[in-house]
Chain A
Amino acid sequence: MKSNEYLREIEHLNLSIKAETVKALLHLGYGHFGGSLSISETLACLYGHYLHHDPANPKMADRDYLVLSKGHAGPALYATLALRGFIELETLKNINANGTLLPSHADMNKTAGVDMTTGSLGQGISCAMGIAMGTDTNVFAIVGDGELQEGQCWEAFQFAAHHQLNNLVVFVDYNKRQLDGYLDEIQKPFDLREKFQAFGFESVQVNGQDINQICGAIEQGLASKDKPTAIILDTEKGQGFPSIIEMSSNHHLRLDDDLRSAILKDLDVIEQRLESLK
């Protein structure tokens, strides 16, 4: 069990990531709200404590790496990087602007603090394998649950287990939804925890909205000596924003006035919670 102060700091970062992500996408008028919001807790745990980084020196030699294989959640990563000081908060308004350094999908050559260019699903996770072999530090990778339909993911997982990449922790954002609907309707994932175990991973499933549980799973993963670890994050697409969760399709939203005002109401609640954490 973590101290309350420690968890409060991570929760503060989590809520800030949600608020800044949504504000940036409200400014833009469209974007990948659902899958950005479902990983903010995990990003907060990583950048709030476990991922060794230095915003003043993004390429520092002994840094840990994060590969956001579900590259379309770029806005949540950008908000995190901005809150940690890699980039200016103000620049979040430039997501997808012409000539931007913050494209819809994560790009290591444009944004300080992004460790791998991703967007074509299944590719980031393989790159994470190479990074994990190339560094002695820790490597974290976040894959989408729909992304696991890409066969390349399973090539990569076999590779990780065979090569005993124990410095690798893979998060699966199990939010149960993808662009065309629910995974159960499109292609059932079956038991992800068992699948990862069968592929030679330590695997654990946690409530992906519970920071204490996520932190515990990360510590378990970092302690693993001979296996990579998979953390299945039981999440909701759009979590923290009931107006988005309730939508029948929330992978990519284009905002009309009604939706904008509903999201703004949810944002108020997030900001009140942030205020109460001060």
Chain B
Amino acid sequence: MSSELRHIHAETLLELARDHENLRVLEADLMGSVSTGKFQAEFPDQFIQCGIAEANMIGVAAGLSATGKVPFVHSFGCFITRRCYDQLFLSGGYAQQHINIFGSDAGVAAVTNGGTHMPFEDVGLMRLIPDSVVIEVSDAAVLKKAMHYSYQNPGVNYIRSTRKDLPELYLSPDEIEIGKGKVLREGDDLTIIASGLSVHDALEAAAEVEALMGKTVTVVDMHTIKPVDTELVIRCVNKTGKLLTVENHNVTGGLGDAVIAELLEAGVAPTAFRKIGVREQFGQVGSLDYLKDQYGISAQAITEAAIAILD
């Protein structure tokens, strides 16, 4: 099996459908982008092609949920959130329906699809829906866990992911608990909390900082952005004092805001804090490395921020 996350997504839907007759998969003409064609072939009666009409697709999902079905919907992250936000908010959240949302091409992962297709605001939007769950995928095991969790968790579940592969972080989905961040590296001087593809850049930066400065860095994969793991954040910051958050998203409304708000409300203030992420910019076309540089979220940018905060 390919390790590309789009294939993991499709395989996991198949796994779930083999056990659950009430699962439905809805696409808005992007089946080809996430390999759900094989789902349609094996479960034609559980697959619904909605055409290029995302708002209607969310309503259809809400209606299916009202009859006891469990829908999984997909489009690119910007179209499945921003474009049909009122539908997600009201027909989904407010109406208390169970809708599982796969938003593909998180942030810079949209690469050459460019600014129209590059979501830097989807996490913020989805966090604002009461009782929603927001998960960002950092490797295949997290994606599998997130999908199994979403099937079981009635409500609006948003899974943000790249379509291509990410390096393996975990051996099995059993290592993941939704709502609990994972400490991937333990240090004394700085905590870096990241999500999604930025976790990998944070790990690279942490190793670089330790090599250059001899200071040790904790790196947390905060795969569940909502509800964020407050207890873990507090424990890390109490130990290291200094804190960086890294997100492939606008710094407003995303992981960094979630983390610092929880900390301050708990009465824990980091001794130094910086959010690394996209600031007042739209997307654009480019290669992944170019875009990470442009938006200041590359491993090098994280390293520089860490050195600055540790100096």
Contacts and interface: CB of A to CB of B under 8 A. Distances in A.
A120 interface: yes
A65 B68 CA distance: 14
Interface residues of B, number: 27
Interface string B50-63: 11010111111111
Interface residues of A, number: 31
A151 B50 CA distance: 15
A131 B64 CA distance: 5
Interface in A169-188: none
Nearest to B95: A117
Contact of A152 (B56, B64, B68, B69): B56
A123 B66 contact: no
Interface in B85-107: 86-87, 90-91, 94-96
Contact of A129 (B59, B69, B94): B59
Interface string B206-249: 00000000000000000000000000000000000000000000
B64 A117 contact: no
Interface stretch (A29-37, A153-161, A256-264): A153-161
A147 to B, nearest CB: 13
Contacts of B56: 126, 129, 152, 155-156, 159
Contacts of B55: 122-123, 126, 151-152, 155
A43 interface: no
Contacts, number: 101
B90 A116 contact: no
A117 B94 contact: yes
A127 interface: yes
B249 to A, nearest CB: 27
B67 interface: yes
Interface string B33-67: 00000000000000010110101111111111111
A125 interface: yes
A126 B59 contact: yes
B95 A109 contact: yes
B53 A127 contact: no
A159 B51 contact: yes
Most chain A C-beta atoms within 10 Å of own C-beta, residue among B53, B60, B94, B95: B60
Interface string A51-73: 00000000000000101000000
Interface stretch (A7-15, A132-140, A228-236, A247-255): A132-140
Contact of B59 (A109, A125, A158): A125
A120 B90 contact: yes
Contact of B64 (A119, A134, A156, A159): A134
A152 B63 contact: no
Contacts of A108: 66, 95-96
A115 interface: yes
Contacts of A128: 63
A116 B67 contact: no
A133 B63 contact: yes
Contact of A134 (B50, B69, B95): B69
A123 B67 contact: no
Contacts of A129: 56, 59-60, 63
Contacts of B59: 123-127, 129-130, 152, 156
B53 A130 contact: no
Contacts of B64: 130-131, 133-134
Nearest to B89: A120
Contacts of B95: 108-109, 116-117, 127
Given A127-B91, A155-B53, A134 B66 contact: yes
B86 A116 contact: no
Contact of A130 (B51, B67, B90, B94): B67
Given A115-B66, A155-B53, A126 B60 contact: yes
Contacts of A155: 51, 53, 55-56
Contacts of B66: 65, 108, 115-116, 127, 130-131, 134
A135 B67 contact: yes
Contact of A133 (B48, B68, B86, B87): B48
A260 B49 CA distance: 51
Contact of A159 (B60, B67, B68): B60
A126 B67 contact: no
Nearest to B94: A117
Contacts of B87: 120, 123, 126, 152
Nearest to B26: A130
B86 A130 contact: no
The 9 lowest CB-CB distance pairs between A and B, nearest first, are A126-B59, A130-B63, A134-B67, A155-B56, A117-B95, A155-B53, A130-B60, A127-B63, A131-B63
Given A67-B63, A117-B94, 12 more contacts: A65-B66, A108-B95, A122-B55, A126-B58, A126-B60, A127-B59, A130-B71, A134-B64, A155-B51, A155-B56, A156-B60, A162-B51
8 contacts: A116-B63, A126-B59, A126-B60, A126-B91, A130-B63, A130-B66, A134-B64, A156-B60
